[in-house]
Amino acid sequence: MKKPKAIIFVSLHSFISMANSFNSLKKFLMLLLVMPLLLSEQLQAQVSIPNEIKASFTNQKPKIDGVLNDEAWKSAVKINNFTQRELKIGEPATERTEVAVLVSDQHLYVGVWCYDSEPEKIIAKELKRDFNYDLDDNFIIIIDTYHDLRNGFMFVTNPNAARADLQVFNNGGTSNAYWNGVWNVLTTKTDSGWFAEFEIPFYTLKYRSNVAEQIWGINFERNIRRKREQLLWQGWSRDNRIQQLNHAGTLTGLNQLSNNRFVEIKPYATAGGLQSKTDNKLLLNGGGDVNYLLSPTYRLNLTFNTDFAQVEADQQQINITRFPLFFPELREFFLEGEDYFNMGYGGNRIIPFYTRRIGLNEKRETVPIIAGARLLGKESNNTIGIMSIQTAADDGQPSTNYSAISWRNDIGRQSVVGAMSATKFESGRLHTTNAINGRYSTSKFLKNKNLDIGGALIQIYNTDVGIKKGTYAYRGFISYPNDKFSVYSSFQQAPMPFEPEVGLLIRRNFREAFTDISFKPRSLRRFKKVRQYEFKPASVTFTQYDDTRAIQTFEYRIQYFGADLKSGDKMVLNYTVVAEGLINDFEISKGVNITKNTYWWRQWEADLKTFRGRTLALAGNFIWGEFYDGSAFRNRTDLFWRAGKYMNMSVRYELNDVKLSNGSFRTNLVGSRIEYAFNPNLFGSLLSQWNTNQEELNVNFRLRYIPKIGTDLFFIFNQLYTANANVISVKSTTVLAKLVWRFIL
């Protein structure tokens, strides 16, 4: 199709022509970045006195029942100075909230009093482990055990005593929501509100050793959903979140912590069967993990005959681009140390170390893991991670060793430098991907605003070819992530020879500049139902082929309107100009090809979401307009039903209706999820997905029982159906039971 003729499109095309070098575009994007920084506003105070809470030592373990009537709680020092972050920043809490902390030689206990003047209006419909805490009234604890103002452990509960936890890294920059610590919480609800009692063993945490008295960072947050009221103890600025530990308060009184070493043994056994059209077999397996706490600082993990049978199936995706899809890591062993083995590259074009390369092949099928070892820890300002995994020979692939070592050093209050190396060794050949990275971060920029500047340089090396020109990639970024103005700009390059065999490349042979500017003013008084608007005058992506400098992708997006209502509903309207430069023909769908050329098109996008905390909620994304040399309509719609605290259900539908000069196609993806929780320790889910592109129906049922914290029993049922000539038949059925038992020596 021809290039757009409207003035704005001519201007954009002229801009591309003028930006005939990568450096000139970077200068332009940096200019866009600096402009809104001059408009920063004064930050409100974030420190509330007292900003220190002292743990009271107790020799007698309190009864964990959520009642909080033990003598130790009656004598503990409470804090109650909570401040609103939403909806009325800086104002006192409308509902009284109190917190106290106890400590024994082995455990940390946190008592929470969430008083409520209208307890019948408390929202609590989640019950299972790792629940969606954004939907319910909840209480959050975050603990910075190293007091490094960067990393921490977050624990969340709601009035039903549902549990969620995650690890926080880089002062809230990244987190691991799949981490499952060993801890417990129980709650009660009365006419006065709801109350929670947390029990956190010290072996769940990592902290400095050989210190006379521990001083930790700590912060608390309470959310009252019906009011959309968010309360924080410290750091309630809208430019920050509870995950930003540099604004946390301090926890003292930890002068009798245990430094005992311990060994945790977690053997597993699986039993079941597989039935398919070509094979029937009995599935029996066993193995386990050994976790050795060398000190409160360092933990050694050993794994043998590693098994991931309990991991939920991937969410299916339909790809109508010429780039590979990204599937997130879901296996707990790799997720727990995810941040330790992050090369700091950032972005979504290049993932230098992609752990799904280990134990999974290109078809996302399991490759047996013989054994592995991992050491994680932090001493002073240095963070160390070492990992080595050996996979078995499988389906023509030789036995392979994957290893990684990383080092990171904290500088100043928030900044960091690091280095990492990841290797792949098979059949006498060694591949290595090496990186150095750094990030300067501050929350004191221009009247206490957040600013991040960083980057990474990556080099690969193969023993069979030696050092080769162009086997590198680099990325730099600058970010101004604040509430009213948010600006992000980055530039990166990866020449054709760059191929990290331990990573994932979404794009190859490219250099790219990107800038995104958001303006998010708060609602004017006349529009009382709007909490915050969002406008994006420019979101620009300019990607070139590195060797020819021709356009690979260009995208200019304008967000004309965005609104976050006080009710929790959201709406967004975008307009985008896109260019794709194809240097080869590509098959977008079976029998439909797009010939090499440079294509320009325009499209609209609307995104509508109702508040997920309601009994019924709806989310819809609609994209329509031109597409290559034709047109397309794309839609994703999600329907959510929260029937109660025992059952939740969702249905997802995705449509791609594409009409091109060389042919047309239509794809449908339908998925449903039913979750049922009998109590916080017994819950299950049924996931079904129908993909017309692959003509497959996948059904995955998982039931999880936690007889005691740290021990798990899983029941898994998988069934795959195929459709051939409109006849649906069972392709394979797998039934498995898995028991993971936990022993402490």
**DSSP strand pairing (52-54 vs 249-254):** parallel
Query: Residue 530: helix, strand or coil by DSSP?
Result: strand
Q: By C-alpha distance, which of 521, 454, 528 is closest to 492?
A: 454
pLDDT-above-90 percentage for the chain: 63
The reported pLDDT for the residue numbered 7 is: 32
Rounded Cα distance, 122 and 99, in Å: 19
Other beta carbons within 10 angstroms of residue 83's beta carbon come to 22
Span 11-24, pLDDT tens digits: 344 334 334 444 54
Quick one: CA dihedral 348, 350, 355, 356, positive or negative?
positive
Rounded Cα distance, 335 and 387, in Å: 13
Instruction: Tell me the HSE value of 736 on the side-chain side, using a 13 A CA sphere.
Output: 27
Rounded Cα distance, 489 and 79, in Å: 41
Exposure string over 291-330, b if 16+ CB within 10 A, otherwise e: bbbebbbbbbbebbebbebbbebeebebeeeeeeeeeebe
**DSSP strand pairing (97-103 vs 262-276):** unpaired
Q: By C-alpha distance, which of 502, 58, 5 is closest to 256?
A: 58
pTM given for the model: 0.83
Query: The tokens of 150 are what?
Result: 């960067």
Q: What are phi and psi of 73, to 5 degrees?
A: -70, -35
Residues 6 or more apart whose CB falls under 8 angstroms from that of 430 comprise 423, 424, 462, 463
Rounded Cα distance, 200 and 183, in Å: 5
Residues of the chain with pLDDT under 50: 1-22, 24-45
Residues 6 or more apart whose CB falls under 8 angstroms from that of 321 comprise none
Rounded Cα distance, 232 and 245, in Å: 12
Other beta carbons within 10 angstroms of residue 724's beta carbon come to 9
Rounded Cα distance, 107 and 205, in Å: 10
DSSP structure class, residue 208: -
CB 99 within 8 A of CB 110: yes
The reported pLDDT for the residue numbered 54 is: 94
Query: Residue 518: helix, strand or coil by DSSP?
Result: strand
The reported pLDDT for the residue numbered 258 is: 65
CB 583 within 8 A of CB 596: yes
Instruction: Tell me the HSE value of 198 on the side-chain side, using a 13 A CA sphere.
Output: 32
Query: Residue 82: helix, strand or coil by DSSP?
Result: coil
The reported pLDDT for the residue numbered 22 is: 44
Rounded Cα distance, 562 and 154, in Å: 30
Instruction: Tell me the HSE value of 209 on the side-chain side, using a 13 A CA sphere.
Output: 16
Query: The tokens of 743 are what?
Result: 């022993």
Q: What are phi and psi of 510, to 5 degrees?
A: -145, 160
Name the burial class of residue 540, with classes exposed (0-12), middle (13-18) and buried (19+) by CB atoms within 10 angstroms of its CB: buried
Query: Residue 171: helix, strand or coil by DSSP?
Result: helix
Rounded Cα distance, 555 and 549, in Å: 16
Q: By C-alpha distance, which of 530, 576, 524 is closest to 554?
A: 576
The reported pLDDT for the residue numbered 160 is: 95
Query: The tokens of 425 are what?
Result: 């060794």
The CA-to-CA distance between both ends of the chain, in Å, stands at 70
Fold of 52-254: Immunoglobulin-like (2.60.40)
Q: By C-alpha distance, which of 572, 557, 574, 471 is closest to 514?
A: 557
- The alpha carbon of residue 462 and the mean position of all alpha carbons in its chain are separated, in whole angstroms, by 32
DSSP per residue over 216-248, as a string? EEEEEEEEEGGGTEEEESS---TT--TT-GGG-
Spans of all domains in the chain: 1-39+513-581, 52-254, 323-508
Rounded Cα distance, 642 and 703, in Å: 19
Rounded Cα distance, 733 and 687, in Å: 15
Name the burial class of residue 146, with classes exposed (0-12), middle (13-18) and buried (19+) by CB atoms within 10 angstroms of its CB: buried
As a 3-state breakdown, the chain gives helix, strand, coil percent values, each rounded to 5, of: 10, 55, 35
Query: The tokens of 45 are what?
Result: 């105070």
